[in-house]
């Protein structure tokens, strides 16, 4: 069963944004995209910091905070306009930091890491490099949460390809898809980095070929 969405928290996040379009987008994503409630289910009880690579509008961090999570949040995204909108939405929140930065240039960090809908915008050679860099920042006992489209047979993958083409053409996603990874292309570098990996479908209620990859480092928090 998918984790339940906190509708009140979703609405509070949506109201933080400046424009009706941003509010509607945030509201729809938080209510219908299972990655947010699933990630909250994994992270809410653990206040260690979270590095959100490719954070976009920082919906994950805002949703976690509205659900009661009090860890330090650091979001990175190369889209300066989205980072600016996220900063407006996060005004007044303590320990909530946002940077307009490339995903391939990561700060020093130790804690949880999120990599949501980022990998397929990188080339085949760049993806394992980013996965290794992200894994290196996962603290003992902490988790790397990856959500990615996987290259698999079937209609879901073909529909997802069409959707990605459309959002690029409309300008919402300025970066085009470079490479849809196979499952083993994600699992292999994470296991080599010493993480225990679990993969599960994450298309609850949606037609898209999304998967959640939870990679945890053994050990106790420092």
pLDDT per residue over 92-126, tens digit each? 999 999 999 877 679 999 999 999 999 999 999 99
Residue 173, domain extent = 7-217
Give the residue-averaged pLDDT of 193-218.
92
Largest alpha-carbon pair distance within the chain? 46
Q: Is the pTM of this model over 0.75?
A: yes
In a domain? residue 222: no
Q: What is the pLDDT of residues 7-17, one digit of tens each?
A: 999 999 999 99
In a domain? residue 98: yes
Q: Residue 2: pLDDT above 80? A: no
Count of structural domains, the chain: 1
Q: What is the pLDDT of residue 175?
A: 78
Q: What CATH number corresponds to the domain at position 198?
A: 3.40.50.150
């Amino acid at each position: 069963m998918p984790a339940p969405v906190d509708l009140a928290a979703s609405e509070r996040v949506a109201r933080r944004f400046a424009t009706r379009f941003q509010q509607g987008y945030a509201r729809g994503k938080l209510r219908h995209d299972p990655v947010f409630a699933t990630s909250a289910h994994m992270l809410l009880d653990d206040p260690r910091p979270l590095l959100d690579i490719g954070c976009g509008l920082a919906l994950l961090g805002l949703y976690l905070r509205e659900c009661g999570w009090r860890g330090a949040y650091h979001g990175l995204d190369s889209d300066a306009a989205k980072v600016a909108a996220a900063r407006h939405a996060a005004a007044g929140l303590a320990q909530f930091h946002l940077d307009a930065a490339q995903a391939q240039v990561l700060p020093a960090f130790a804690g949880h890491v999120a990599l949501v809908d980022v990998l397929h915008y990188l080339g085949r050679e760049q993806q394992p490099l980013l996965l290794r860099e992200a894994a290196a920042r996962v603290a003992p006992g902490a988790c790397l949460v990856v959500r990615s489209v996987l290259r698999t047979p079937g209609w879901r993958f073909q529909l997802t390809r069409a959707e990605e083409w459309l959002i690029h053409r409309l300008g919402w996603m300025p970066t085009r898809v470079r490479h849809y990874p196979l499952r083993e292309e994600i699992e292999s570098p994470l296991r080599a980095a010493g993480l225990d990996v679990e993969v599960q479908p994450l298309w609850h209620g949606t037609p898209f070929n999304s998967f959640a990859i939870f990679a945890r480092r053994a050990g106790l928090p420092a």
